[in-house]
Structure 1
Amino acid sequence: MKVELSEGRFSRFELIEWWDQQRLARARVLVAGAGALGNEVLKNLALLGVGQVVVVDMDVVETSNLSRSPLFRPRDAGRAKVDAVAEGARAIYPDLRVHPLRANVVHDLGLGLFRWADVVIGALDNREARLAINRACYRVGRPWIDGAIEVLSGVARLFEPPEGPCYECTMSEQDWRLLERRRSCSLLNRQLEEIGKVPTTPTTASIIAAIQCQEAVKLLHGQPTLSGAGFVFDGLTHQSYVTRYQRNPDCMSHDPLERLEQVPRSTADVSARQALEWARAALGPGAVLEFGRELLQGLDCPGCGREERLFRPLSQVTEADGVCGACGVRRAPRLFHGLSGDEDFLDLSLAELGLPPWDVVVGRAGERVMGFELSGDRSRVLGALDKEGV
């Protein structure tokens, strides 16, 4: 028997008085994380008809993911999570334009990608990645919705720059201790030792991701949201409540870029010297460069005293790199996060220094600040999304 479909795909949504399906179709969403939460987020974005999504993760599918991730299949084991989750989301909604980006959230994402997004959704499992996303979003003025789950409980919270409290404002002394522990467990956070994987269930992931996506929908429609607050869910008792956060006046994340110029160049073909010249032309001869991230300049051995100059993206540095080849002692990284003009490596390209594609370099002269977005990398990062002119 033939069944006549009299309603459009999104007709039930459009019964909501303030709903604008075209607004969702135009929306640009950056999803960080493709595990249990990320699966649920992508599933919901596909069902909602969100138009353009970039999903970022660096891991591969493991068998244990199959019990918590509805978009993964047994055949996906060993496959990049972003590829598997993108394929699963497109199977739900073929018109979804989703670009998988296998990358490290902390070190491999330029600020240009955050500026592209209307909203960022965090589906992460560690504080360092959350802090990196938080600082990026507050630098370029993009709201982000954090989600966290553990056992049967979880929290979803919305941080909205420039004035609202941010993720860093909520961090306790214990959070900072755990963050430092994570960073110290491996060289430059490349290969973490097992600190203990967080136990989770698919039911809790679905609840928290649903709140995250519902907040994104409301945000995109200009409806009241959880801005500056969090939805806390206790799965043991099924009790939930909303908690409001206070802005910390000493928080380092509240540093917005009020002036920004797009430069159609790539981090691979712009030298540090050229970028410094841009800053000084705009702000004066005393301007310096800031990168908003730690970059590796070299490795120093406390055992034998050997020093090695090594410019490399932090995401490409392993624990094996950290061991001194002469004496076997673990070496200490020598890091930098800006340039004053006195360095002897100014003729290296920004990419050679470790900056990711489509990043923003910042010039500063006293209180005056200006950003330069390397938009020549946009197509490389967005792939087909950019080719489609979105």
Structure 2
Amino acid sequence: MSDVLQINPNVSEGRFSRFELIGWWDQSRLAAAKALVIGAGALGNEIIKNLALLGVGHILVVDFDQIEHSNLSRSVLYRESDCGRRKADAAAERAKEIYPQLRIEPLHANVVYDLGLGPYRWADVILGGLDNREARVAINRAAAKVGKPWIDGAIERLDGVARVFDPAIGPCYECTMSEVDWKMLEARRSCALLTRSEMEQGKTPTTPTTSSVIAGIQVQEAVKLLHGLETLSGQGFVFDGTYHQSYLVNYTRLDDCPSHEALEPVIAMPWSVGRTTPREVLERALHDLGGDAVLEFNHDLLATLTCPTCQETTTHLASLGKVTERAAVCPKCGALRAPGMYHSLALDSPLCDRPLAELGVPAWDIFGARAGDRFVYYELAGDQLDVLRSLSNDEGST
């Protein structure tokens, strides 16, 4: 312990003076740091609370849920009067009470299809406090595409695990998934790849004490990462709360895992999903790449729904993930309509003059253009102010 705690007698008794007794501690790094916290439930509450106490200066909180009465026993930032409010809003408000100098913004969004890649690229550290595989896969792929490590936490009953994934140099979350994990993930979709709206969301049994342990490790790893110290990269800290045992596990990088490549080069453009069309992007891509460029999006997008019984096709533009089986039912005969999907667009597409938002592209996203084997990626930086709001003035924002 004496090798870690090197006391500096000249440190004044300021708000963070006890942290600065640690020899390698740099409070200015934390003050300048930008954290993306995804999930504002039991783990997210503890993560946000710890970041605020530590003086991490800038936080974007992403969550799409609302506060229920059952959240009050596991979430330190929520009060009974908050029931029905958006989790991200209440969490951000309470974090400011802990540390008034904190700059924090809530974003009410589903991480799977509402969150673009821009916030991932903006962040210095990404922390996940989630309870399902689909969301973890979404974060994992997004973090890999922008070349950022991320810190995952999972809890159940009295047990939990904290893991650091850096796809650039080691295993990623998908490398750890078993065949059973993938089958359970696929069960969330119908044969037509539509979301099963009737499928109940699992309620994970856990306690606030377990959340505290796992979130504490996650944030401690974030502090080490921000200071350039060695982290649990490629490893997991497993906590057995029944017998108070903990140990590390090592994960193996799978050579055939597709989620390790970063998107590059990325060009920040003053475009926004509400005003920019695929045609404008393709015209720029033709200038940058030449040849017959096509756009390639990060999500499967929906163009049409076709009833197999009525033989009628209707336009339905959205991210595929937003469309449930129930929404795809034919209003005339009740049959399940088949989705017409696309992942790329060329200049001859009839959708080229629609705004990107209308197609289902999330705000502040990054997507690519390809001509043969040459790629370029564009960041819709015109959306940054709408997403980050007060955080958009941070030094180092794209």
Instruction: Flag the 1:381–1:277 CA change in 2: closer, same or farther, 3 A.
Output: same
1:14-68, CA deviations, whole angstroms, 9 ceiling, x for partnerless residues?
Answer: 0001000010000000000000000010010011100000000011000000111
Instruction: Flag the 1:186–1:57 CA change in 2: closer, same or farther, 3 A.
Output: farther
Offset at residue 316 of structure 1 (A): 5.1
User: Would you say the 8 A contact 1:182–1:192 is kept in 2?
Assistant: no
User: Would you say the 8 A contact 1:291–1:362 is kept in 2?
Assistant: yes
Please point out which of 319, 329, 336 is paired with 1:323.
329
1:140-199, CA deviations, whole angstroms, 9 ceiling, x for partnerless residues?
Answer: 111110111111111111111422211111111111101011233998438463153111
User: Would you say the 8 A contact 2:157–2:207 is kept in 1?
Assistant: yes
**1:138 alignment partner AA:** A
Sequence identity percentage: 60
Q: Secondary structure of the equivalent of 1:370? A: strand
Aligned mates of 1:186, 1:196 — CA distance in 2: 22
User: Would you say the 8 A contact 1:190–1:316 is kept in 2?
Assistant: no
User: Would you say the 8 A contact 2:188–2:196 is kept in 1?
Assistant: no
Q: Secondary structure of the equivalent of 1:223? A: coil
User: Would you say the 8 A contact 2:192–2:339 is kept in 1?
Assistant: no
Tell me whether 307-316 or 223-232 shows the greater mean CA deviation. Answer: 307-316
Aligned to 1:215: 221
User: Would you say the 8 A contact 1:153–1:234 is kept in 2?
Assistant: yes
Offset at residue 376 of structure 1 (A): 0.8
User: Would you say the 8 A contact 1:257–1:371 is kept in 2?
Assistant: yes
User: Does 2:278 correspond to 1:278?
Assistant: no
**2:103 alignment partner AA:** R
User: Does 2:385 correspond to 1:379?
Assistant: yes
Aligned to 1:312: 318
Q: How does 1:1-390 map to 2 (within 5 A)?
A: 7-184=13-190, 188-189=194-195, 191=197, 193-314=199-320, 317-387=323-393
Aligned mates of 2:23, 2:394 — CA distance in 1: 31
User: Would you say the 8 A contact 1:275–1:361 is kept in 2?
Assistant: no
- TM-score, reference length from structure 1: 0.94
- TM-score, reference length from structure 2: 0.92
Aligned mates of 1:190, 1:343 — CA distance in 2: 30
Aligned length: 385
Aligned mates of 1:35, 1:322 — CA distance in 2: 30
Offset at residue 314 of structure 1 (A): 4.7
Aligned mates of 2:256, 2:392 — CA distance in 1: 38
User: Would you say the 8 A contact 1:185–1:193 is kept in 2?
Assistant: no
Tell me whether 314-323 or 35-44 shows the greater mean CA deviation. Answer: 314-323
Aligned mates of 1:97, 1:385 — CA distance in 2: 7
Aligned mates of 1:23, 1:183 — CA distance in 2: 43
User: Would you say the 8 A contact 1:52–1:98 is kept in 2?
Assistant: yes
Aligned mates of 1:133, 1:361 — CA distance in 2: 16
User: Would you say the 8 A contact 1:164–1:227 is kept in 2?
Assistant: yes
